[in-house]
Structure 1
Amino acid sequence: MMKGKKEAMGQRGAARDCRILYAVVIGVTMGIFWAYLRPHGFFRPATPSTLVVDRVGGATSKLDGAVLGLEAKVAMLEREIKRLENENKELSVFKIKNDVLQQEATAAKKQLEALSPSVKIGPPGTVKSIRTNPKVQPDDSVNPKLSALLKKIAVNGELIVGISNNNVQEMVKIWFESIQRAGVTNYLIVALDDEIAKFCTDHDVPVYRRDATIAKVQADTGDNHAISGSKFHLLREFLVLGYSVLLSDVDIVYLQNPFKYLHRDCDVESMSDGFDNITAYGYDDVMDEPSMGWARYAHTMRIWVFNSGLFYIRPTVPSIELLDRVTAKLAKEKAWDQAVFNEELFNPSHPGYDGLHASRRVLDFYQFMNSKVLFKILRKEANFADYKPVTIHVNYHPDKHARMLAIVEYYVKGNKDALKHFPDGSEW
């Protein structure tokens, strides 16, 4: 009996030992299999390469954030600069308006003083005559279409007016681009043909289409002179409508706003063909005639002519009379319009002739410069290397387009060699 129990217990112990052995074998096998599939276990440790990627990624993220922040600041600064530029333009316009109002107030005060009832004359130096003539009363009925256009374009009742046909299209482009670059918006082209009118319209340039009235006597004086002579007739309507005009040839480059440099105290302010203080502003020229003995020296007053390609004219009675006189003379005589313009401005009354009582001013020849001053003098002077004129008129040279391009290169684009290869004068 006891022997049977022992045998039964021995069989159960053997069975248990077999199950434990099987469990160990299965566990070891599964461990080897799992170790093969997941050598790093359930949680993969951070390797050096992973750490590097994480760090670089973090740094890149921070750098991207910094770049985005910098771009936002730059954009903000650009908006602020744009705002300040717009404010500066507005302030510039207000300044010109204020200057004009002050000039008009001063002129009105002088007119009132001169027209006041007779008073006792003060000490020397206190007596002043009228130079700033009053403006005419505007008459819109003269040209309603032009009047409506000028009301949109003019600023302070004044504007730049250029007159051109399609023969000088390349120069017209340099002309209006320089005006725009100078910040001037009150300008207009009087187009003498459909081609130049379309060209201006395509470039968003204010344009007024008008046929030129050229006198028969001027028909064979050359295209430029014939058109130049007709401008006095065309200009009359602007003045009768009450507008002051800076009449401008298209062979002029604008580098600054010219309205900031006008005085508005005379009927006509004009650039000069003179090249220094003496020739531009007048001098005592002495003629020597030895045969006269004691009276051999005769003193004369001379001034180089006003340039009829750039002058500011106010809407006054003497100004309109000047235009009418020049137009009438050019209709009867084969003459150069600039010569006639100066004769009517300067010739005094004498037997058989009543002189024009128009006040006049010579503009600063370094500000409103002719091309003789630039190419013969100024470009060679080191003291003027950084000087910028208001306008430069290529009136002394026939290669106008090339010199206008060179002026833009020199003063706008900063090419200091742009003017060097041109001769002082013209090459025949």
Structure 2
Amino acid sequence: MLIRSRPSASPGLRDGLSTDRNVLVAEAAELQRRLDSWRRRALAAGIDQGPLSDVHFHSKGNSISTGTSAGTDAAGSTCTPNGHPVTAVAPLDPKYLMRPAAEVEAENPEFAQLLATHANDKREIMLGLTNAVMICQNTTLCWWNGGNILESFLEILERSNIKNHLIGVTDDQAAKYLEDRAARRGSGAFAINWFKPNIRIPDVQANTREANRVSSLKFSLLQTSLQLGYHTMITDMDLVYISNPFDELHRDADIESSSDGFDNMAFGHMNSIHDPTMGWGGGGLYMEIFTYFRGKLDACDKFPGGSEAGTR
């Protein structure tokens, strides 16, 4: 699944001296976007928004209006994509907000340098995590009756020529495996890009399977990578790429994801339900689907710092 990064800082407003109608309409849209962003950040930080909580700029075509709107407060403004109201829920914790890339880079200089070195010219990176369990040299830890998942994945990277990859290694045994492998193959072989991330396993994952512990760390690295401005493809090791997936991306959406199968549960199909105990409202149709393919962020709902939210 590839998630595209969005700018963490908005462009500056004009000097405010223009009287051109089109410029003023554009300024109103920018003011509304910044105001929405400020409201969410202020709410997350527990700041009283005062009179600004009732200010709204509405621009459409060449008209501008300001005023209040019921139900469009700091907790989430509303819009009507496809004729259906949607409420934007403000983030509860400031640490999940997008931050300036320079600030994040100062805290993660080594990771930032790795991304800059190994991402492709579109600032796209394939990011995965591994540990000794995936090598399966210790059969008391792996539960799939053997098989070196890590080695298979490395061979796939080479065969598909996926150079813009970066693998986080979470234990010394897996790190030694990669070091020994590189030494055996020599300097002219396909290079495997890996590092040891400086992040701790969350307490809630401490006593789970080793593979689960690895999975819990992906999202911290994903957040940092996105905040540094890189479009990030998250991958598991137990996948088979028959060609370079970056050659198949449409790049017309903020999230592109592969399916997890070839049957109706992957592509989706309609089903129905009927519950006589609910009377006249007991029947209905619904879509059964296992994994969505791509999502496009909707312009009517924006995260702080200019990121957009929604699905398609």
What's the TM-score once normalised by structure 2's chain length? 0.53
Describe how 1:300-379 pairs up with structure 2 within 5 A: 300-305=286-291, 357-359=309-311
Q: In the alignment, does 2:109 pair up with 1:144?
A: yes
Q: In the alignment, does 2:275 pair up with 1:289?
A: yes
What amino acid does structure 2 have at the position aligned with 1:144?
P
Shift of 1:312: 10
Aligned to 1:214, the other structure's residue is in SS state coil
What amino acid does structure 1 have at the position aligned with 2:171?
D
Q: Match of 1:194?
A: 172
- How far does the alpha carbon of each residue in 1:18-46 deviate from its partner, in whole angstroms, 9 at most, with x for none? xxxxxxxxxxxxxxxxxxxxxxxxxxxxx
Shift of 1:158: 0.8
Instruction: Label 1:274 to 1:184 Cα distance change in 2 as closer, same or farther (>3 A).
Output: closer
Q: Match of 1:164?
A: 130
Shift of 1:243: 0.9
Instruction: Label 1:231 to 1:359 Cα distance change in 2 as closer, same or farther (>3 A).
Output: same
Instruction: Label 1:146 to 1:257 Cα distance change in 2 as closer, same or farther (>3 A).
Output: same
What amino acid does structure 1 have at the position aligned with 2:61?
V
Aligned to 2:246, the other structure's residue is in SS state helix
8 A contact 2:296–2:310 mirrored in 1: no
Q: Match of 1:205?
A: 192
Q: Match of 1:425?
A: none
Shift of 1:216: 1.8
CA–CA separation in structure 2 for the residues paired with 1:320 and 1:302: 34
8 A contact 1:247–1:312 mirrored in 2: no
Aligned to 1:250, the other structure's residue is in SS state coil
Q: Match of 1:264?
A: 251
What amino acid does structure 1 have at the position aligned with 2:114?
L
Aligned to 2:101, the other structure's residue is in SS state coil
Describe how 1:56-67 pairs up with structure 2 within 5 A: none
The alignment's C-alpha RMSD in Å is 3.7
Aligned to 1:304, the other structure's residue is in SS state coil
Q: Match of 2:284?
A: 298
Describe how 1:18-417 pairs up with structure 2 within 5 A: 118-119=60-61, 138-139=101-102, 140-155=105-120, 156-169=122-135, 170-202=148-180, 203=182, 204-276=191-263, 278-305=264-291, 357-359=309-311
Instruction: Label 1:191 to 1:211 Cα distance change in 2 as closer, same or farther (>3 A).
Output: same
8 A contact 1:313–1:319 mirrored in 2: no
Aligned to 2:257, the other structure's residue is in SS state strand
8 A contact 2:153–2:240 mirrored in 1: yes
- Higher relative contact order (CA closer than 8 Å, sequence separation 6+): 2
| Higher helix content, 1 or 2 | 1
CA–CA separation in structure 1 for the residues paired with 2:101 and 2:237: 28
Of all paired residues, the percent bearing the same amino acid is 31
CA–CA separation in structure 1 for the residues paired with 2:284 and 2:305: 36
Aligned to 2:162, the other structure's residue is in SS state coil
Shift of 1:313: 11
Aligned to 2:133, the other structure's residue is in SS state helix
Shift of 1:293: 4.6
Q: Match of 2:8?
A: none
What's the TM-score once normalised by structure 1's chain length? 0.40
Shift of 1:291: 3.5
Instruction: Label 1:178 to 1:266 Cα distance change in 2 as closer, same or farther (>3 A).
Output: same
CA–CA separation in structure 2 for the residues paired with 1:153 and 1:313: 26
- How far does the alpha carbon of each residue in 1:276-320 deviate from its partner, in whole angstroms, 9 at most, with x for none? 3x533444431111334544312334421459xxx9999xx8699
| Higher strand content, 1 or 2 | 2
